[in-house]
Structure 1
Amino acid sequence: MSTELLERVVIREARPEDDAAIGELLVEAFVTQYAKKLPEVVYTEERKRSLRDTASKRAVAKVLVAELDGRVVGTVALWPPGAPGSEAWLPGAADLRHLATAVELHGQGLSIPLLEAAERWAREWRVPAVCLHVRRGAAGVARMYQRRGFTREPSADLDTPAVYLEAFVLRFED
């Protein structure tokens, strides 16, 4: 993404009127990305409904959006420690999930300001770490997080009947 374009991006908390746009962005980004990189991954209607349920996420997590020229073009959610639905495995850690950008903007650096904002929130919450999971095989996504300082934590991988998720953690210094 050009510097000029990034300068026009506003990162802010999601509002109820953003819910539909966030849900569709998540479904489009996840389905499109996995169709290209992991064609064996199938998103069920139930999973799509879950991704679209932004109101429930906002009720328990900090949901952020990237807005460009009045349009939601990115999102990320951060669950505080102990929040319902959190998959953080470390005591007192936040859980980062649902990072997505508009398909036409993939690969242009839009995830950086979203992650920076989520990490700022986590630091404000004074958590010791941010935990997250990445679908096994999504190597590019894993590398993106590793470039930000996240490290693999295989002991916290999730092996569910539907998916194998690899664990990563970003630890904050005191």
Structure 2
Amino acid sequence: MDTRHVVERALVREARPEDDAVVGELLVDAFLTQYAKKLPEVVYGDERKRELRDVASRRKAATVLVAELDGQVVGTVALFKPGAPGSEAWLPNAADLRGLATAVSHHGTGLAQPLLDAAEARAREWGVDAVCLHVRRGAEGVGRMYQRRGFVREPVGDLDLPTVFLEGYVLRFKKD
């Protein structure tokens, strides 16, 4: 597959209610598949799968973007405004990026790039100072992908939750 062609053809737009079921299943499939390969000890229980599938609630608190190819939703990411319910951003006036995923059939095609471009552009439109995000400890490839985009590891943003340790990353915007 010509990855450049896939990325150029991707249409990124806001998710609509009719996208919720597809986006929810895409998230579950992508997270289960990717973590099963890279972190076999990670197990997603029914509660976590329900959370991933609850795109309608996520859309109430965040801007959910989708990538479309040939009329099919094949990727997603959510961006929470500063102070939005569910935001895990640790910096004031920072957006929180969550749930970046591509359809299993499109893993490795570069489809995350237009989604991240659109999310970062939206954050800039909001006038935020930074975008914060978390990566599951042990998912080094994911962390490297964000670092290539300019995110830096920021341990002050780490979350040590009962079932997972999440490492904080931040992309700061330069002020004109």
Band the TM-score falls in, shorter-chain normalisation: over 0.9
Deviation at 1:156, TM superposition (A): 1.4
Indicate yes or no: 2:80 matched with 1:79: yes
Q: Read off the aligned partner of 1:33 and give its amino acid letter.
A: Q
Match of 1:2 in 2: 3
| TM-score, normalised relative to structure 1 | 0.98
Q: Counterpart of 1:45?
A: 46
Query: For residues 147 and 2 of structure 1, what CA distance do their matches in structure 2 show?
Result: 18
C-alpha deviation, 1:155, in angstroms: 1.4
Q: Distance in 1 between matches of 2:168 and 2:158?
A: 5
Deviations 1:56-78 (A, max 9, x none): 01001010000011110000000
Q: What is aligned with 1:119?
A: 120
2:92 match:
91
Tell me the SS of whatever aligns to 1:91. coil
Give the stretch that moved more between structures: 5-14 or 19-28: 5-14
Instruction: Report the Cα offset of residue 4 of structure 1.
Output: 2.3
Q: Match of 2:174?
A: 173
What does 1:153-168 correspond to in 2, within 5 Å? Answer: 153-168=154-169
Question: 1:32 aligned to 2:33?
Answer: yes
Distance 2:88 2:3 in 1: 34
One-letter amino acid of the structure 1 residue matched with residue 132 of structure 2: C
Preserved CA contact (<8 Å) 2:23 2:53? yes
Aligned-pair distance for 1:8?
Answer: 1.9
Q: Which amino acid aligns with 1:159?
A: D
Q: Which runs of 5+ in 2 are unaligned?
A: none
Letter in 1 for 2:52: L
Structure 1, unmatched stretches of 5+, are: none
1:3, CA displacement in angstroms?
2.4
In the alignment, which residue of structure 2 is the partner of 1:20?
21
Q: Distance in 2 between matches of 1:131 and 1:60?
A: 16
Aligned residue-pair number: 174
Q: Give the whole-Å Cα distance in 2 for the aligned partners of 1:148 and 1:8.
A: 21
1:4 & 1:125 partners in 2: Cα distance? 30
TM-score using structure 2 length: 0.97
In 2, the alpha carbon distance for the partners of 1:136 and 1:41 equals: 11
Provide the aligned C-alpha RMSD in A. 0.7
